[in-house]
Amino acid sequence: MKQMDADIIVVAAGLSGLAAAIAAAEKGASVIAFEKAATTGGAANMGMGPLGVGSRKQREQMVALTPGEAFRKHMFFTHYKVDARLVRDYYFKSGDTIQWLERMGVQFVGVQRAFGAPEATRPYSDGEFTWHVVRPEGGGVPGPRAASAMIKAMTEYALDLGVQFAFETPVKEILMENGEAVGVRAVDKTGEEIECTGGAVIIATGGFGCNPKMIQEETGFEFGKTIFNFAVPGMEGDGLKMAWAVGAGKTPCTMELMYQLPDNMNHFILDGAFRQPCLWVNRMGERFMPEDQIGNTTFTGNAISVQPGKVAYAIFDEALLEHYKKNGPDIISHVHPHDLFDHFDDMWERDLAAGYEPIAQADTLEELAQKAGIDAAGLRRTVEDYNRCCEKGYDEIFEKDRAYLQPIGRGKLYCCRQNVGAYGSLGGILINHRTEVMTKDYQVIPGLYAVGTDACNIFGDSYPFILSGNTMGFCLNSGRIAGENAVDFALVEA
Amino acid sequence: MKLWIDGTEVTAQVGQTVLEAALAAGIYIPHLCYHPDLHPQGGCKLCVVEIEGEDQVVTSCTTPVREQLRVVTKSPRLAQLRKASMELMLAGHPGDCTGCRSFGNCELQAMMQYLPAVANGELRTFRRKNADWPANDPLIVREMERCIQCGRCVRACRDLRGVGILDYHHSEGEMYVGTEKNVPLLDADCRFCGACVEVCPTGALQDREGIFRKDLPREQALIPCQAECPAHIDIPGYLYAISQGDYAGAVDIIREKVPFPLALGHVCTAYCEKGCKRRGLDQPLAVRDLKRFAVEHDDRQIWRSRHVPFSSTGKRVAVVGAGPCGLTAAYYLALKGHAVTVLERYPVPGGMMALGIPAYRLPREALMGEIAEITAVGVTLKTGQNVTSITELKEDYDAVLAAVGAAQGKRLPLAGANDSQCVTALEVLRSVSLTGSHPLLGPGRRVTVLGGGNVAFDAARTALRLGAQVRVVCLEDRDHMLADEEEIVQAGEEGAAVCPGRHNLELVAEDGTITALRTERITGFRFTPGGLEVDPVPGSEELFPTDVVVFAAGQKSDLTPAFGLPLNQWGYPEHNGCATAVEGVFTAGDAVTGTKAVIDAIAAGRDAAREMDLYLGGDGCIDPPPAQRKQKDPCIGKQEGFARLHRTHAGVRDPEARKGCWDKVDLGYSKEQAKTEAERCLSCPLRTQIGVSELWTAYLPK
């Protein structure tokens, strides 16, 4: 058994943990961060950037949104069913946090929104320009993983400040004494146990996206059956379990929903190709949302999650495929290649030959319904109605944007099943606006803090895409808030 | 010698490369194809540096250090070159890491952090044509679209292991890494050592899910047999010794952790085999049979020279119960210099090993030989001592261990279960072990054993050997019976009728005499707080005529509060670690856990010895000095057909011959068989000897 000690102990060195460690070290505390993986950043290595409101960058781009307005938008979106004080503190800090990162050497391309709603639906679902996308070193167009430049700058800055990282050394337990968190027990990769004592412990382990059992128990979804979420290795819910074990209050957990094909990374072309406003139906063959909205992955994920079997089917025909090939996709996502349809035929033939189960091709609607598992009569009725709407140029059911009203039935039919997807889990540990962990009776557990997705209880039932960059934004700012408060606590204690 | 790296003076060794010198001095130069254990190849071009006075940049992994060399590791030109190299590697690599099992432990991903210029939406991409590999390789998953062709696996396979089945190949105008003609690893004579997976810097080569436990520290998880063994015996170490014909060396290694190698060689439940990595290839190593073979063929017993007691500490220890737990604790405490007395209530020592497990599974002379070794180091063994209260012992001894086992057989809640025709398996086995007979069993008696675990089959096969007609009835279906497969099969061969998937309804009696057992078939069952629930098959009731009913429904503690230890609601002593609520009194083994395997009891005995030694003022280090090992050459070489060397089965005595006698059923290996079997080992520890390529985060920013 090895003994260590530090003023502040951070459990996991993802984005939230890094922010917490840096904030604490800036205030002069000694900090140890225990990390299960071999490097820092966790899931944030795949991201592109955080939310910030009221940053200099934003103002320079003539975006006038204020933290107070963002706060109100967020609270309307969540119907005030979340901790308003925590939300307020988060947004009011988020602008300064962008400058804080810039001082570490992080550069931002500018502010973006993740999703622009069609004109007709703008008042209900438009995104704000809050997403600060990290500039790749040396310039160029940022793509997925752009945020890893931010992780590097933060890690180097943390090392400069004297933060100690213990890699491949998962924390197993929070050590308590007289109701206070006083340290952790960790195990390194050789199996040696480490007992580290400290003034405060900050939990930042990133939820349970890689733990099917917890997903089932906490959210009711069945991994690989009713949900196909990112299962970033290591996200096993360690922090939640450890916090609950020492008496932390439990909040409802959600999955950060979107939608995707099963095993979508190996079928990425098809994943993008069917993310188009063609005809979308459920298992009964009925339309269930205006397809012009399917670029909004949060709403579409939600909508699929309430259909029978939690599945939907995107259908287009040969003529529409030709249209996509010629003009490019109707909806362009920032994750899929923009030349999707150049590769469509190759991928489609390969996956069809390999028996990739979510896809089907047919010459008639009946054949398609039978192959895909859709109710044939329902589909027949829907297509008849839908084609009539296309002819009239007006969707009587959902008032779908008429630019996308293309009849179905010209040549071969292509169908792809869409499943509920998710990024990871959200929430679980009850905290206050100082990110202090509380018991179920709202009593603060002294010395214990929880941040990032482990404690992200502020989204309500859905990711607030209207203020994009929110997942990373909350991770960064909650981490920063925790680091500062924890030092105050630890120094007062000492 | 001295050189300068980025203006810092660095001391280097002759023969080092610039990269090695820099890393040793804590200066990070990015690199991917370099690995500390492999010959440098200069392929990835990330480690390029400028040398003052030279125009061309050089790869630092292939440039030897020279006196007064002045090296620059960071410049716009180098950044540009590194960016170009990364772009080449990333062009064919999947754009999204979230679906990759190496996320967070990937050197390429870490390099993307360090050289973030490549996190670029304009990155060119192409789809590899040669990424579709035989997807059904055992143990190793290859996702070659993630391969960056650094060649580490090629060099590890060829140079570290001398196997050389991986190489660069060309097809459709592309270079790719793989086997000759793309044959599956199985047909390429892969040794499945995992070195290629270990050195792969990306997720291209991965261990198949489920091979290694994730809840253990990595270095332990990589050697699953040793991790699963409750006593953590160095199993690969002694398997290698056996393969070399060094049986004395093998026993020396086994005895580092357990004082009953031969008994375990006969009856160990072999958790190691359930963890064995080779299970994912064909069948696990026959670890238990090899252990028995080694002990039976050790004619030098070199372990003795290492198992010498420390000088006397003057402390006195009493151990109550001479089962595997008590005797193990006694042995290690005696080696630590304590004066140990073991008190056993029955006339023979050995606990369940002597009175539970039948002799045809564990020959008594083998067991008594090992107990004699324990008394030989100074343990005093007193049999026929029924300790009814711990309190008196406390006055005469400095520490007491209650290793009393779970000595009482349970009966099922059937009306008539306490009738004179009913008996517990434990009573049968104990009686036969002590006297050679049991009054209820004999030729022609119809015996029904209720239970499906090993104890049920011990009772059944014991009754068979006494001439009875035997039927075994249990709730579990055939595929989920708790007994070892060989027990079920061998009992069937010896004539037992095995009736799985049945629920007992009643004992049918005529004139006060039990004549039959009424059962029904079930499709499932569960234990609820309200008791047993079953899913019966309608109309499946059946009567089994029977004269004797043997309950093999588990055992429980027979301790009473009079013994002097506070008991919990299930009748087991309250404990914290091995310490009880009574100062100086410890408890361990079945006495605490209920019935478990012999190896569990031995491991528990070791824990107790450790705690008690600390309590008595010792250092708690109970292991004798480590055995000397011949290290296996990591260059294991290619071996034709290695992956298809299936498990060697020792001969068994003919069913007819064994039915009438108590001789050991399993005849054991020949020397050739033992060597063949031991050589099947995949040598998992070799992988833990491979060095680590540290990421940029291990170096402080300069």
Q: What CATH number does residue A362 fall under? A: 3.90.700.10
Domain count, chain A: 2
CA B260 distance to own-chain centroid: 17
The answer to whether A451 and A278 are in contact (CB under 8 A) is no
Q: What CATH number does residue A441 fall under? A: 3.50.50.60
**H/E element holding B489?**
helix B485-493
Cα A435 to Cα A93: distance, rounded to the nearest angstrom? 14
**H/E element holding A475?**
helix A470-493
Q: Chain B residue closest to A138 (CA)?
A: B117
pLDDT of the residue at B93:
85
**A166 Cα to chain B: minimum distance (Å):** 10
Give me the residues paired with residue A196 across strands.
A4, A184
* DSSP per-residue letters across B316-345: EEEEE--SHHHHHHHHHHHHTT-EEEEE-S
Q: What are phi and psi of B319, to 5 degrees?
A: -120, 125
pLDDT of the residue at B118:
61
CB-CB under 8 Å, B217 with A190: yes
The answer to whether B156 and B693 are in contact (CB under 8 A) is no
**Average pLDDT, stretch B572-576?**
94
Domain termination residue (choose one: A399, A421, A443)? A421
Looking at the fold, whether A186 and A326 belong to one and the same domain comes out as no
* SS3 label, residue B382: strand
> What is the CB-side half-sphere exposure of residue A24 using CA atoms within 13 A?
37
**Average pLDDT, stretch B490-512?**
94
Cα A44 to Cα A42: distance, rounded to the nearest angstrom? 5
Residue B233 scores a pLDDT above 80 = yes
Looking at the fold, whether A302 and A345 belong to one and the same domain comes out as yes
Measured between alpha carbons, how far apart are the two ends of chain B, in Å?
22
Q: Which of chain A's residues have a Cβ under 8 Å away from the Cβ of B218? A: 168, 189
CB-CB under 8 Å, B104 with A143: no
Looking at the fold, whether A235 and A356 belong to one and the same domain comes out as no
* SS3 label, residue B514: strand
Q: Give the range of the structural domain holding residue A444, as residue numbers without chain letter.
A: 2-253+427-493
**Average pLDDT, stretch B623-639?**
95
Looking at the fold, whether A195 and A318 belong to one and the same domain comes out as no
Q: CB-based burial of residue B546 (10 Å sphere; 0-12 exposed, 13-18 middle, 19+ buried)?
A: buried
Task: Give the closest of B97, B120, B216 to A136, CB-based.
Answer: B120
CB-CB under 8 Å, B102 with A37: no
The residue among B87, B97, B202 with the most chain A CBs within 10 A of its CB, best to mutate, is: B97
Cα B419 to Cα B548: distance, rounded to the nearest angstrom? 10
**Residue B155: partners with Cβ closer than 8 Å, 6 or more residues away:** B35, B38, B39, B41, B199
Residue B530 scores a pLDDT above 90 = no
pLDDT tens, position by position, B86-130? 988 888 888 778 778 899 899 999 998 888 666 555 555 666 666
CB-CB under 8 Å, A136 with B99: no
Looking at the fold, whether A393 and A451 belong to one and the same domain comes out as no
CB-CB under 8 Å, A266 with B217: no
CB-CB under 8 Å, B110 with A167: no
Looking at the fold, whether A370 and A450 belong to one and the same domain comes out as no
Size of interface A-B (CB pairs under 8 A): 136
Residue B702 scores a pLDDT above 70 = no
The answer to whether B577 and B313 are in contact (CB under 8 A) is no
Q: CB-based burial of residue B343 (10 Å sphere; 0-12 exposed, 13-18 middle, 19+ buried)?
A: buried
The better pLDDT of the pair B413, A486 is held by A486
Domain termination residue (choose one: A393, A421, A449)? A421
Domain termination residue (choose one: A392, A421, A450)? A421
Enter the tokens of residue B250.
């093998």
CB-CB under 8 Å, B120 with A140: yes
The answer to whether B457 and B487 are in contact (CB under 8 A) is yes
How many helices and strands in chain A, by DSSP H and E? 15, 16
pLDDT tens, position by position, B476-492? 999 999 999 999 999 99
Looking at the fold, whether A115 and A216 belong to one and the same domain comes out as yes
Task: Give the closest of B97, B101, B105 to A46, CB-based.
Answer: B97
The answer to whether A215 and A227 are in contact (CB under 8 A) is yes
CB-CB under 8 Å, A159 with B113: no
Q: Which of A25-29, A240-244, B276-280, B592-596 has the lowest mean pLDDT?
A: B592-596
CB-CB under 8 Å, A136 with B118: yes
Looking at the fold, whether A126 and A208 belong to one and the same domain comes out as yes
Looking at the fold, whether A34 and A170 belong to one and the same domain comes out as yes
Give me the residues paired with residue A203 across strands.
A11, A450
Looking at the fold, whether A319 and A235 belong to one and the same domain comes out as no
Alpha helices per DSSP H over B244-351: 247-254, 261-267, 271-275, 287-296, 324-335
**Spans of chain A, pLDDT less than 50:** none
B421 has a chain A CB within 8 A of its CB: no
* SS3 label, residue A422: strand
Give me the residues paired with residue A425 across strands.
A255
Cα A147 to Cα A472: distance, rounded to the nearest angstrom? 10
Cα A26 to Cα A17: distance, rounded to the nearest angstrom? 14
Looking at the fold, whether A122 and A31 belong to one and the same domain comes out as yes
| Residue showing tokens 């650094």 | B150
* DSSP per-residue letters across B549-597: EEE-S-EE----GGGSS-B-TTSPBPEETTEESSTTEEE-THHHH-S--
**Residue B124: partners with Cβ closer than 8 Å, 6 or more residues away:** B87, B91
Mean of all residue pLDDT scores within chain B: 93
Pairing of strands A413-426, A228-229: parallel
Residue B131 scores a pLDDT above 70 = no
Number of Cβ within a 10 Å radius of residue A229? 27
pLDDT of the residue at A265:
74
Flag whether the pTM goes above 0.90: no
**Residue B395: partners with Cβ closer than 8 Å, 6 or more residues away:** none
Pairing of strands B585-587, B2-5: unpaired
Measured between alpha carbons, how far is residue A305 from residues A299, A424, A453 in Å? 10, 16, 21
**Residue B688: partners with Cβ closer than 8 Å, 6 or more residues away:** B219, B222, B223
The answer to whether B457 and B495 are in contact (CB under 8 A) is no
Task: Name the residue among B71, B698, B47 with its Cα closest to residue A156.
Answer: B698
The residue among A137, A260, A263 with the most chain B CBs within 10 A of its CB, best to mutate, is: A137
Q: Chain A residue closest to B125 (CA)?
A: A337
Looking at the fold, whether A405 and A434 belong to one and the same domain comes out as no
Taking a contact as any Cβ pair under 8 Å apart, which residues of chain B between 425 and 484 contact chain A? none
Q: Which of chain A's residues have a Cβ under 8 Å away from the Cβ of B127? A: 343
**Average pLDDT, stretch B596-622?**
97
Give me the residues paired with residue B448 across strands.
B471, B549
Which amino acid would we find at residue B162? Answer: G
pLDDT tens, position by position, B45-89? 999 999 999 999 999 999 999 999 999 999 999 999 998 899 888
Cα B700 to Cα A164: distance, rounded to the nearest angstrom? 10
* SS3 label, residue A159: helix
